[in-house]
Amino acid sequence: MVVTRQVSVPPKLGARLGAPVLVVAAATALCAGIWFGDPTTPNGPLPICPTKALLGIDCPGCGSMRMLYSLMHGDVLAAARFNALGLVAVVLLIWAYLAWTYGRVVGRRVRGWQHNRWAAMVTLALVTVWFVIRNLPFAPFNALFV
């Protein structure tokens, strides 16, 4: 009887980086659309938030396109003004992307913040609190309207 041992060969670096490159390409296309669409222009080509259009309230994502536009133009304060939670989310998403890409480069899984047991509940709580706070009709919260 011959015993054979199956050995898995890790894929080459180019194959491991295919998905991260696609994510960068998609993010670049999205950012280009926002850059050229200029969401800060009233009645521009980019649509307004459906929640704001239908219900007249700011959803947790309202102002995200303007936040990204301001961020791409280097205006971090305006980005925070348009959607502060979205700005924090961008930082966390970049962190998660870099951890994922590093794991693909070295050929092993890297545990990012989003894999923690508490991540989903904390995210849900923050989004819910942001949704309520930015729609309160009195100072200082009415400054969060976009």
User: What confidence tens digit (pLDDT) does each residue in 90-139 have?
Assistant: 999 999 999 999 999 998 889 889 999 999 999 999 999 999 999 998 88
**Helix/strand/coil (H/E/C) assignment for every residue in the chain:** CCCCCCCCCCCCHHHHCHHHHHHHHHHHHHHHHHHHHCCCCCCCCCCCCHHHHHHCCCCCCCCHHHHHHHHHCCCHHHHHHHCHHHHHHHHHHHHHHHHHHHHHHHCCCCCCHHHCCCHHHHHHHHHHHHHHHCCCCCCCHHHHCC
pLDDT above 70: residue 34 = yes
Q: What are the domain boundaries of the chain? A: 26-144
